[in-house]
Structure 1
Amino acid sequence: MTRFTRALASITTSVMLLSGCAQLELNQEVDDFPAFNAWSTYGTATSTYADVAAVANTISNEEDSQIRILTSDTGVGRLSPLRNKQATMARTGDEYIFAFHGEEDFTTADWGPQDVRMVWTPTAPHGMMSRVGSGIDSPADLKGKKVPWATANPSVQNKVEAYLAYGGLTWDDVERVDISYSEQPAALQAGQIDALFLQVYGSSLYELEAAIDTQWLELDPEDTEAVEAVAEVAPSVEIGPFENAAGQEEGQSDNGFIYAVPFVSYNELSDTQAYQTAKAFQEHYPKYKDATATTLNWDLEHVFTTPVQVPFHDGTVEFLEEHGAWTEEAEQRNQELIAYGQEMRATWPDFLAQADTSGDLKQQWMDWKDEHLEPID
């Protein structure tokens, strides 16, 4: 049993998986951490789930509360419980960005731009892995290879596209294989894909390395042209090092994509619930920081505290202000994003009224925003 699976096995049954739950009172004001919460996130074989479960277990015990976890392999599946008031928060991939801007899987008549806000923003390393001896040592080597297209997961699709861009490639240069996010390790072992993209500490990757020899694709953070190509496709990403992951020897370091995998909510969540959640993450950090390989990145010293593409919740802003972690620049950017979100949501009905629903709705929405909204950098 690996250190990852030992950490996961230690999580108590007070953190439960649900297929659904009753609607929650998101606008309820609280004086302490809520007695009941439901959070959604990735599936149980992922390191993202292990992080969430370990933190939820700690907070449940310390706050004498109940936190239930709903899981999904898809971006829409992780945000739907928030929209349906079956969860207060979701720990997501970049679908929180796409939902805010009404892009990718959210450019549909049923969704459109959503009033989502960031509550807590821990980071995690992700990377692309291949078989040792496959000849796929860097992103450029993916040309002509079988590359995963994570179904209904635009965040992962975007990151794989960024890996391709690093190597000077596009989707037209590879064989696209439709596959769910969690199926990738088994598919790599079976030869159905030639590389995979996952958070580097996923339990399924430790199981995979017991069956085949694996390696991480090489990235050079000093390669300015390649780094700029990544930023063009995935602006939320930084290239940085990670250690002690599956497929690595002791002391080995590789570079991957480092980006926030945040807890988000809808703006209608009360300020006090967002504030008490941020407070609990920080206050109980010493008790959960060593639970998994990435929970060390969950305190104020490591989380992102400046909004880039999605605004922070007012309750979190209050908490950050109290701890000297909120700047004038962050406040200005936050207000710009809030105003831009309001404009997007206000113009969405007008866009739908004139849209050609039989055509490319995604491109039409991008063109509409370019024509009717002031751009935001």
Structure 2
Amino acid sequence: MMSGYSRRWAFGAFGAALLAGGPAAAEDIMLPDTMMWSAYDVGSSGYTEASAVADAMIKEYGTRIRIMPSGTSIGRLLPLKTGRVQYGWLANEVYFATEAIYDFAAREWGPQDLRVLLGRPAGFGLGCAADAEIESIADIKGLRVSRIQANPSVNIKVEAILAFAGLSWDDVEVVDVPSYGAALRGVVEGANDCAGGVPTAGIFRELEASSRGISWPPLPADNDEGWTRLRGVAPFFSPAVETVGAGLSDSNPGYLIAYRYPMITTYAETSEEQAYSLVMAMVETFDMYKDVNAVMPRWNFETAGQPPADAPFHPGAVRALKELGVWSDEHEAWNQNRLQRMTAVQAAWDAAQELALDQQIAGKDWPAFWSDYRNQNLQ
């Protein structure tokens, strides 16, 4: 047995059920004695969900898990890059980092070789104070909207939502804030009128219960012109009807944008055994965390273990999902295409670096140089 690891036979009800109909679904689960994860800051949905899963694994396996919160994309990815944390519970910074865009276009970053283990479907919208009397995205013109420093994952979503109504940052009063939590807190405290976020964030619950109340300006799926404008900013979003979260219910759904959040993310170099074990441990402990809040059932492997996601799935996750019977040929084709795209981006980055060296491009001019090179050489 390897020292420094907790070992447990992962063969609960899910394994027995699969054995009845086919091959064994799990081997020994081997988790490190200690793990560190990064996530959005305290009060966010991602932090709450990571905490629930960590608590289940602590109880079931004895592995000690510490969560490092950060309100910025860099703050969540940097400790993953340096090896201080092993997994990040991340959002669209995964896509931006693999594509080397926004903050990740800096020379010290470049395209990151990231992989996803699981990622639950989520809705995202502009959570607005009900007392601002906002009925449509167009009504946000001239109002106060949060923009988070060093967080392109949230900011690009807000920009895309504004574009739905033909608006931009220039059409609103921008309130710059240092973190995701501060953006949401600002609406509660009256410092701004709207902030982009997931409806399940704890601070949005506080807004719902406050004197201001909460509303979600709709992005109807049948507004083709609006969605064309939105996708002109961020092509990887689609319409979502969300019924779980602050101010939302089956009788009062929100018409938001769909994406994956959180996505449990690591680097490609993480061993297959480690990634496999974490996925199987989440499956084995699912009953321990699925009722923590209304959104946790979406972490079932049938839902959270399917593409698309912002990066390819890790081989260890693919192995687990194949054994669990949810990884199809179509999923594998998607994964291979996403891997090919990342290889192309990495090759383009290397070529651009060499060309910039030949042309003596100054550091301050690199982001614009890389952007132009991307536009000319990557589809």
Tell me if the contact between 2:199 and 2:244 (Cα under 8 Å) persists in the aligned partners: no
Equivalences for 1:1-377 in 2 at 5 Å?
A: 32-179=30-177, 180-209=179-208, 210-248=210-248, 251-261=251-261, 262-303=263-304, 305-307=306-308, 309-355=310-356, 356-357=361-362, 361-373=366-378, 375=379
Q: Decide whether aligned partners of structure 1 residues 281 and 229 sit closer, same or farther in structure 2, where only a CA change above 3 A counts.
A: farther
Report if aligned partners of 1:285, 1:299 keep a CA contact under 8 Å in 2: yes
Deviates further, 199-208 or 156-165: 199-208
Secondary structure of 1:337 counterpart: helix
Is residue 308–residue 333 contact of structure 1 (8 Å, CA) maintained in 2? no
TM-score (norm 1): 0.84
Whole-Å separation in 2 of the counterparts to 1:371 and 1:246: 43
Q: Give the Å deviation of 1:265.
A: 0.3
Distance 1:229 1:299 in 2: 33
Structure 1: distance between partners of 2:309 and 2:230:
16
- C-alpha distance 212-372 of structure 1, shift in aligned 2 (>3 A): closer
Letter in 1 for 2:144: K
Q: Secondary structure at the match of 2:30?
A: coil
Indicate the structure with greater helix content. Answer: 2
Alignment check: 8 A CA contact 1:106 1:113 kept: yes
Q: 1:175 to 1:313 in 2, by over 3 A?
A: same
Give the CA RMSD over aligned residues. Answer: 2.2
CA 1:185–1:309: 2 relative to 1, 3 Å:
closer
Query: Are 1:306 and 1:326, in contact at CA under 8 Å, matched by a contact in 2?
Result: no
1:215 & 1:295 partners in 2: Cα distance?
A: 23
Equivalent residues of 2:187, 2:195 under 8 A apart? yes
Alignment deviations for residues 125-156 of structure 1 (CA, whole Å, 9 cap, x no partner):
22212222423221111222222111110010
Aligned to 1:17: none
* Identical columns (%): 32
Provide the rounded CA distance (Å) in 1 between the counterparts of 2:350 and 2:249. 54
Worse overlay, 352-361 or 138-147: 352-361
Question: What is the rounded CA distance, in whole Å, between the counterparts of 1:279 and 1:249 in structure 2?
Answer: 32
TM-score (norm 2): 0.84
1:207-240, Cα deviation, whole Å (9 max, x unpaired): 2232422211122122222233333323332322
Distance 2:366 2:299 in 1: 37
Residue identity matched to 2:182: E
* Structure 1 Cα separation of the partners of residues 294 and 269 of structure 2: 33
- Give the C-alpha shift of residue 346 in structure 1: 3.6
What SS is found at the alignment partner of 2:139?
A: helix
Contact 2:93–2:152 (CA under 8 A) maintained in structure 1:
yes
Secondary structure of the structure 1 residue equivalent to 2:301: coil
Q: CA distance change for structure 1 residues 77 and 249 in 2, over 3 Å: closer, same or farther? A: same
Deviation, 1:304, is 5.1
Write the letter of the residue equivalent to 1:289: K
Q: CA separation in 1, counterparts of 2:83 and 2:374? A: 29
Secondary structure of 2:241's partner? strand
